[in-house]
Amino acid sequence: MSRLDVLVIECNHLASLTVNSVKANMPSWSFKVVPYEGGFIQTALKNTTGITLVVKSGVILDVRDGDLPHMELLSKYDICLGRSGVFSDHPKHSNAYRLMGSDIGIKHLDLSVFIINPALWSAIPASDAGVLKTAKRLRMPRHMNHKSDMLIKDSLSGKIAMDYGMLAEKASVFNYVDVFEKGSANGNEMFAYALEKALPFADDLPSVKKLAKQTLVRAAKLRVALAKTLLEDARNEH
């Protein structure tokens, strides 16, 4: 399995979730925790020299063989990352961000999880603002980063929340930092987010552990069962 160094940028109290998940799920991977220094890209370039998986503290990792783009491909790009809005390119739901008063659009990119290639950066930017406009970007595989989104809580139906939640069974990055910081989740959020993934790693974070247990009891078993059923049906069709 190809491996990258992991750089955890600490900007909240949830770093142990990330560290514990790497130790348990990816024990042969090297990682380092560093403080946030005014920009995610700036912090990354100051603290690594090789192609590196960079994550915001609180992101849970379970990267397996085949999840990452090949090193040969990564070496050709400045950075690999995904969009900020889960539904920003959705034909039916992309307009909902504007209706919610947000400017999130298809061009807004997510710096909470990215893969950076320092060899292709000629200078360390002073901030993240505008720097990605000129960077050569590789799109992160959509299945890789399963993340929270502002539309899930109140703007989309329970069915859409569940449909999105089932995609977590294929994910390798569980990016629910804002939910864990908030300390609560409604029904839609529990169906949409695999918050129970935090349970093995949250012994020192009682509010996170409580939320993860609530999700396990109320939504996770149904979400996982439905995902397995759909997967088995797809296999049977072939």
pLDDT at 59 > cutoff 60: yes
| Number of separate domains in the chain | 1
C-alpha–C-alpha distance, residues 164 and 156, integer Å: 11
The sign of the torsion formed by the CA atoms of 37, 39, 40, 45 equals negative
- Domain extent, residue 231, equals 5-237
Contact criterion met (CB below 8 Å) for 119 and 96: no
Per-residue b or e along 91-128, where b marks 16 or more CB atoms closer than 10 Å to that residue's CB? eebbebbeeeeeebeeeebbbbbbbbbbeebeeebeee
Identify the CA nearest to 198 among candidates 154, 237, 235, 146: 146
Helix axes 221-237, 158-166, angle to 10 degrees: 70
- What are the pLDDT digits (tens) for 167-200? 999 999 999 999 999 999 999 999 999 999 999 9
Residue 143 has what pLDDT?
78
As to burial, measured by CB atoms within 10 angstroms (0-12 exposed, 13-18 middle, 19+ buried), residue 180 is buried
Look up the pTM and report it: 0.93
For residue 37, name the pLDDT band (cuts at 50, 70, 90). Answer: very high
The CATH number of the domain holding residue 174 is 3.90.550
Instruction: List C-alpha distances in Å: 233 to 59, 160, 171, 184.
Output: 31, 20, 19, 34
pLDDT at 142 > cutoff 80: no
For residue 234, name the pLDDT band (cuts at 50, 70, 90). Answer: low
For residue 228, name the pLDDT band (cuts at 50, 70, 90). Answer: confident
Residue 205 has what pLDDT?
98
